[in-house]
Amino acid sequence: MILQQKNGHNYFVELTVNGDQHMVLVSAKTTLVEVLREQLGLTGTKLGCGVGDCGACTILLDGEPANACLLLALEAEGRDIITIEGISTNGELHPLQRAFVNEGAIQCGFCTPAMVLTGKALVNKNADPSEKEVREALAGTFCRCTGYAKIVKAIRNWQHYNEMPSSKEEGEKTELAVVGKSLPRKDSFDKVTGRARYTDDIHLPNMLYGKILTSPFPHARILNIDTQKAEVLQGVKAILTWKNVPDILYGVSPARYDEHILAKEKVCYIGDEVAAVAAIDEETCQKALDLIEVEYEELPAVFDPIEAMKDGAPLILERYPNNINTRVDWNFGDVEKGFEEADLVLSDTYVGNRTYQSPMEPHCAIAEWNSDGRLTLYTSTQVVHYVRYQLSRLLEMSQGDIRVIGTHCGGGFGGKAEVNPLEICAAFLAKKTGRPVKMRYNRTEMFYHFRGRHKQTIDMKIGMKKDGTITAVQQKSVLEGGAYSSFGVIAAYYSGAMVPTLYKLPNYKYDGFRVNTNLPACGAMRGHGCPHPRFAFESLLTDMAIKLELDPIEVRLKNAMEPDSRTVNDLDVGSCELKACLEEVRRKSGWDEKWGKLPFGRGIGVGCGGFVSGAGYPIYRSKFPHSNATIKVSEDGNTVILYTGETEIGQGSMTVLSQIAAEAMGITYDRIKVEYADTDITPLGFGSYSSRVTLMGGNACKMAGEDVRQQLLEVASQMINIPMEQIKSRKNYIYDRENEKAGIPWEEVAARYFSENGPLIGRGHYSPPEGLGGDFKGATVGTSPAYSFSACVCEVEVDVETGKVKVIKFTDAHDVGTPINPMAVEGQAEGAIAMMLGETLLEDMVFDKKGNILNPNLHDYLLPTALDVPPIDSSTVESYEPRGPFGAKEVGEGATLPVIGAIANAIYDAIGVRVKELPITPERILKALGEKERKECFP
Amino acid sequence: MFIKEFEYHRPDNLEEACSLLAKLPEAEVLAGGTDLLTDIDTGIRKANHVVSISRIAELTQIQDLGGKIAIGAACTARVVESSPLIQKYFPEIVEMIPLFASPQVRTMATIGGNVCSAVACGDFPVILIALGAKVELVSLNGTRLVQLKDYFLANRKTVRMKGEILTRILIPKKSKTSASHFLKFQRRASNSLAVASVAAFLDIQEAICKEARIVLGAVAPTPIIAKDASKSLLGKKVNGQIISRVAELARKEARPINDVRGSVDFRRQLVYVLTKQAIKQVVLKCLPRKERSDCTGFKC
Ligand SMILES: Cc1cc2nc3c(=O)[nH]c(=O)nc-3n(C[C@@H](O)[C@@H](O)[C@H](O)COP(=O)(O)OP(=O)(O)OC[C@H]3O[C@@H](n4cnc5c(N)ncnc54)[C@H](O)[C@@H]3O)c2cc1C
Ligand code: FES
Ligand code: FES
């Protein structure tokens, strides 16, 4: 029954949630998701967009999935509401949840509650759904991480999990006991039950909310800011403008710190931060922002990079003449000579437009100052260390007095790799008010904050001999980067640096321009600067193969990079199995039967890729080891805690690091727990960017594990009276190599150690080898201890009447060294493919002529749904990287790189026309077909 | 969403709902809320009062009235999809529903709300107009029936007057010789708005087209009947040649705009292709098997 309060807007309503009755007081406009999250503390229901697009807020309404963000709490009265918290009973997972855990269907976990609930509604009606039925049921919830493959599999196989599955550590006998096994994620239980706490799920006592006022103009001088009216608004606690924050610039690369905390003299894009407010709730913040009067003088703006470079164009930031933020001028070998030696030289221009990471979890940060003058910041970030580093600069206090805690993170993909305005403003607002302050972006604000992929226009030219040997490559990239630098410098270098790593290029020239415009700043997005040039290169390579009547796979094999090579731009490639990847996809995809033989409208294409396994140099100069780890063994020896400063953003790092450390110590996976990304308790790690965690974090964790093992073996050696060299530690058992029976349980040795020596602590650290790379300007970018390689074959169907592309299948193979957790590797590859399918065919940030984003939402910025992603047949090839822990290297970013080329080449094979601008939309396909027809009619 | 406060009313019968709407200033009907809440948020609609119709029994029923089927306006897409009556008489509507919004939205969004929102890209009106549906509007002043094809005036503007509730959608049952089909072009495989949509309704007797309605969606401010295209089918034997000609006419009748979802030219092309395909599907549905081979020009 609804009881109305006096004032007419507030109502008592009884809701039935997970079988319990709750009487809550709401206003008429309160949505169910607010009640669940904020009043009932059921934070397993996520808020990803608030307008019905993303599905993260899914609940079951009388047994059917529904968006809790669109449902008024009052309308939910009398209806049966089930949230993720209502799926397991007495702490025991439902078989469907067990399926999610064991099939690897969870990554960042932000979509997981919705996926489990929609799956549950489906299997309640249809216990054995088909692949198509599952995909249709999931189509209303986006997953940015998994590519849906394992979610679909988990739902289809859920009945296999009526019984508890046996541990995967048992099974086949291998030398390595923990590494190389597809073990379930460390955080999967929390994520599948809705317990995992993301930043926005945290509510501190006496907490305020904050919000940022942004510029409505793409380029304008700020004449005056009047906050008087806002200050007196009931509930407003603090207002910041440039006048009451330090005048210190920040950014990513020290040579290009160019962002103010809040805009000082001018604003440079629609969305530039002008003022920040703290108030008792977000609505009051919004009202206060509306009351702040800013007087602007509009300045001419520029959005096109070519225009921006012209003399006389509006200058955005004084320090970058002609708006050229970064200029790269590389010349390796002699391209002119190379082109002369070629039998065929082709060149073409390719465009990759802006795309956005679109993690399912919006950015959020909470700052709290403690009585001792220290700051604690909870945030959804890829790098706690860089956040702390920048905060210490801006707050002018020592890093040690700032504690940054990375909570569960619902995806980053590069978009959370740098400090953001929420983190900074929350810190200042919390300081000013003396109360905790939470700040979060809504979906539209995320798009305006951006830091997504640069738009690149690429001129690519390749010289080739008749037999397919590449003689020279010349490339020019113009990167449109928006108003500030962000990671742009690095993107400009990466755009060229990674081109010579896949194939043996004897001569290579690269001209790069990173240009500022009056648009939101571009940053680092998965594959950082490389996917667009790779698309250009792989497209042109296939065109040339066809011209020379060669098989595109043969041409790639002919030029493929070999192990232990030095590239023309002085990068040292160690392990390299690109050829094996190509052979694998050729065999598995049925390439030889299909290439050139499919009917019109149907096509097959190949692309290759590869990436660094961690940047060889840090973002700011320091001699610190890049990755560090400590391990603490419990007094009784039964539990081991691994501490690492790396972050978990969904990719499975904490699982992989745990496996590595457990293997190094000789214990089983169930005994190791992991604490991460808390700058007070975990040692420094540079975090999740440049695909660095498995190799660098892994090496540090391995070393820490070995340190523990070494200390234990010394004790064990005395206990069982066997020389150290002869003792082995494996699966919680320390024993004589030559006589397995002579041994003692691991925990007994550990307990003895503690009794005799006090705490058993292991320490590990990792720095990349010194002196990586050449000595030309920018030679550090692209250096890495190791490189991944991959190949992908894609099959498509194109409707030539509507231009619509349907991707039928992907077959991909990866050289990731030793896969530490094969299931996690597959998950990364599948997720990368889905993301790049989106970038190739659907995703595009569209601006109007004034710099407004026309699609800052998830109904017009098109992420692929479960129905868009076809079956993916992903595998790894035999490989071992000596510089990696147990032979491992990266997969997360490298797996994105072959995809665009593979799809683009498949489309070309299907219809005989090339679309050279991304995304390859139906309209662009029809246009290209039309042009071809015209050319054929009027040659 | 920081929407302005409003008052909530939840009458349990139609009369009460009508009198609330008549009496309250700036009152809006709330059905599934999938459009209304965001519309209030973005300022497209203003509401001081919201009158929920979700618990009015007579608005959530689907009834067989002999010659026609009446769908209560507050029936959700999910309810419509699983109704045995709709499955029996209007499989084309059941086929259309998976193309409409997302599974979660379909649990909440109502057929009446989709019609009343009257946005250019709405899916239900297109197939409903093709089927010759009428809508029933009820207010304190009485009840009136309006042909759905005459219901829409402009984007988000309809003939529905203040105080009127759309109560039922009445769809005449089809004769044995007629059928219809809805097609929608969306950029991704599911869960996105139409770039263009087409529904075709044909009555074919002894291979001759006796009645035809080609309805276009998302290519004009409202759903429109492509009149020339529809007329040109009458009295004709529906073969490949005719279909192309009809589709060409439909292409010309479309009045699309450029936006992020598609350009004018692209939308016209889609109208052409979808019209062709929709008519072919209808022919397949309504011709007895032996006659299908008569319609040359496409595979039957
Ligand atoms: C993620 C998402 C995807 C979507 N995809 C699609 C899509 O693919 N195709 C499509 O067509 N639509 C789509 N929509 C919009 C669709 O959900 C709505 O148009 C829906 O059908 C409206 O119904 P409702 O019950 O939610 O109406 P409400 O939001 O409750 O109301 C809509 C409007 O109609 C009025 N109204 C409602 N019922 C009545 C009545 N009986 N009498 C008088 N006035 C009334 C209300 O006052 C309001 O102005 C989508 C929406 C979302 C959020
Ligand atoms: S939060 Fe409800 S659909 Fe995105
Ligand atoms: S696991 Fe699905 S969004 Fe991250």
Q: Is the Cβ of B3 closer than 8 Å to some Cβ of chain A?
A: yes
Same-domain status, B31 and B106: no
Using the 3D structure, point to which of B32, B52, B72 is the last residue of a domain.
B52
Q: Say yes or no for a CB contact (<8 Å) between B50 and A28.
A: yes
The pLDDT value recorded for residue A166 is 73
Instruction: Tell me, using a 6 A CB cutoff, whether residue B34 lines ligand 1.
Output: yes
Q: Could you tell me the pLDDT band of residue A4, with boundaries at 50, 70 and 90?
A: low
Same-domain status, B200 and B239: yes
The pLDDT value recorded for residue B157 is 96
Query: What separation in Å is there between the alpha carbon of A47 and the centre of ligand 2?
Result: 6
- pLDDT of B70 over the 50 cut: yes
* Protein residue with least CA distance to atom 48, ligand 1: B36
Same-domain status, B131 and B195: no
Cα separation, B82 vs B221, in Å, equals 31
Q: Is residue B275 part of a domain?
A: yes
Same-domain status, B202 and B152: no
Q: Which helix (H) or strand (E) holds A298?
A: strand A293-298
Q: Say yes or no for a CB contact (<8 Å) between B2 and A286.
A: yes
- What does the pLDDT average to over B7-19? 96
- pLDDT of A294 over the 70 cut: yes
**Domains of chain A (ranges, CATH numbers):** 10-86 (3.10.20.30), 208-299+360-411+416-449 (3.90.1170.50), 530-617+783-934 (3.30.365.10), 627-766 (3.30.365.10)
- pLDDT of A169 over the 90 cut: no
The pLDDT value recorded for residue B1 is 60
Contact A182, A173 (CB under 8 A): no
The pLDDT value recorded for residue B43 is 85
- pLDDT of A782 over the 90 cut: yes
Query: What separation in Å is there between the alpha carbon of B34 and the centre of ligand 1?
Result: 5
| Distance (Å) from the alpha carbon of B33 to chain A's nearest alpha carbon | 6
Instruction: Tell me, using a 6 A CB cutoff, whether residue A54 lines ligand 2.
Output: yes
Q: Say yes or no for a CB contact (<8 Å) between A9 and B188.
A: no
Q: Is residue B298 part of a domain?
A: no
* Protein residue with least CA distance to atom 12, ligand 1: B122
Q: Which of B191, B192, B267, B275 to mutate to test the interface with A (most CBs of A within 10 A)?
A: B191
* Protein residue with least CA distance to atom 13, ligand 1: B101
- pLDDT of A544 over the 50 cut: yes
Model pLDDT for residues A394-430, shown as the tens digit of each residue: 999 999 999 999 999 999 999 999 999 999 999 999 9
In total, how many domains does chain B have? 3
The pLDDT value recorded for residue A1 is 54
Ligand positioned closest to the Cα atom of A113: 3
Cα separation, A186 vs A655, in Å, equals 5
The pLDDT value recorded for residue A389 is 97
* Protein residue with least CA distance to atom 3, ligand 2: A52
Select from A139, A287, A801 the Cβ nearest to the Cβ of B273: A801
Strand A672-676 relative to strand A640-644, pairing? parallel
Q: Is residue B145 part of a domain?
A: yes
Same-domain status, B167 and B223: no
Find, among A631, A217, A695, A189, the residue nearest to A448 by Cα. Answer: A217
Instruction: Tell me, using a 6 A CB cutoff, whether residue A362 lines ligand 2.
Output: no
- pLDDT of A118 over the 60 cut: yes
The pLDDT value recorded for residue B286 is 81
Query: What separation in Å is there between the alpha carbon of A726 and the centre of ligand 2?
Result: 59
Contact A146, A411 (CB under 8 A): no
Model pLDDT for residues A334-384, shown as the tens digit of each residue: 999 999 999 999 999 999 999 999 999 999 999 999 999 999 999 999 999
Q: Which residues of A touch B98 (CB under 8 A)?
A: 136
Instruction: Tell me, using a 6 A CB cutoff, whether residue A53 lines ligand 2.
Output: yes
Model pLDDT for residues A607-644, shown as the tens digit of each residue: 999 999 999 999 999 999 999 999 999 999 999 999 99
Same-domain status, B81 and B128: yes
| Distance (Å) from the alpha carbon of A360 to chain B's nearest alpha carbon | 17
Cα separation, A680 vs A385, in Å, equals 11
Residue B31 structural domain: 7-52
Q: Could you tell me the pLDDT band of residue A5, with boundaries at 50, 70 and 90?
A: low
Q: Say yes or no for a CB contact (<8 Å) between B8 and A74.
A: yes
Q: Which helix (H) or strand (E) holds B172?
A: strand B165-172
The B residues from 174 to 203 touching A (CB cutoff 8 Å) are 185, 187-193
Same-domain status, B17 and B83: no
Q: Could you tell me the pLDDT band of residue B299, with boundaries at 50, 70 and 90?
A: very low
In Å, how far from its chain's centre is CA A405? 18
Strand A402-406 relative to strand A375-379, pairing? parallel
Give me chain B's average pLDDT, please. Answer: 94
Q: Is residue B164 part of a domain?
A: yes
Model pLDDT for residues B176-207, shown as the tens digit of each residue: 999 999 999 999 999 999 999 999 999 999 98
This model of the complex carries an ipTM of: 0.96
- pLDDT of A727 over the 60 cut: yes
Give me chain A's average pLDDT, please. Answer: 96
Q: Say yes or no for a CB contact (<8 Å) between B273 and A51.
A: no
Same-domain status, B198 and B262: yes
- Neighbour-count burial of B282, counting CB atoms closer than 10 A to its CB (0-12 exposed, 13-18 middle, 19+ buried): buried
Model pLDDT for residues A74-95, shown as the tens digit of each residue: 999 999 999 999 999 998 999 9
Ligand positioned closest to the Cα atom of A110: 3
Query: What separation in Å is there between the alpha carbon of B35 and the centre of ligand 1?
Result: 5
Using the 3D structure, point to which of B108, B138, B172 is the last residue of a domain.
B172
- What does the pLDDT average to over A526-538? 98
Q: Is residue B270 part of a domain?
A: yes
Q: Which residues of B touch A280 (CB under 8 A)?
A: none
Q: Is residue B105 part of a domain?
A: yes
Strand B157-158 relative to strand A80-82, pairing? unpaired
Using the 3D structure, point to which of B172, B199, B219 is the last residue of a domain.
B172
Instruction: Tell me, using a 6 A CB cutoff, whether residue B117 lines ligand 1.
Output: yes
Instruction: Tell me, using a 6 A CB cutoff, whether residue B110 lines ligand 1.
Output: yes
Same-domain status, B66 and B152: yes
Q: Which residues of B touch A868 (CB under 8 A)?
A: 188-190
Q: Could you tell me the pLDDT band of residue A175, with boundaries at 50, 70 and 90?
A: confident
Here the tokens at position A441 are 């972006």
Amino acid at A624: F
Contact B248, B259 (CB under 8 A): no
CA dihedral B36, B42, B43, B46 (to 10 degrees): 20
The pLDDT value recorded for residue B296 is 45
- pLDDT of A560 over the 70 cut: yes
CA dihedral A138, A140, A146, A151 (to 10 degrees): -20
Here the tokens at position A425 are 């403003």
Q: How many helices and strands, by DSSP H and E, does chain A display?
A: 24, 35
* CATH number for B18: 3.30.43
The predicted model scores a pTM of 0.97
Residue of A nearest to B276 (CA): A801
- What does the pLDDT average to over A850-861? 97
Q: Is residue B156 part of a domain?
A: yes
Cβ < 6 Å from ligand 3: which residues? A 106-111, 143-146, 360, 411, 650
Percent of chain A topping pLDDT 90: 96
Q: How far is CA A92 from CA A86, A107, A727, A734, B300, in A?
A: 11, 21, 40, 34, 54
- pLDDT of A578 over the 50 cut: yes
Atom of ligand 1 nearest to the CA of B76: 25
The pLDDT value recorded for residue A165 is 77
Ligand positioned closest to the Cα atom of B6: 1
Q: Which residues of B touch A871 (CB under 8 A)?
A: none
Model pLDDT for residues B109-127, shown as the tens digit of each residue: 999 999 999 999 999 999 9
Atom of ligand 2 nearest to the CA of A69: 2
* CATH number for B225: 3.30.390.50
Q: Which residues of A touch B261 (CB under 8 A)?
A: 860
Q: Which of A6, A34, A70 to mutate to test the interface with B (most CBs of B within 10 A)?
A: A70
Contact A176, A243 (CB under 8 A): no
Same-domain status, B165 and B89: yes
3-state secondary structure of A384: helix
Q: Say yes or no for a CB contact (<8 Å) between A139 and B189.
A: yes
Cα separation, A495 vs A328, in Å, equals 10
- pLDDT of B24 over the 70 cut: yes
Model pLDDT for residues A822-847, shown as the tens digit of each residue: 999 999 999 999 999 999 999 999 99
* CATH number for B61: 3.30.465.10
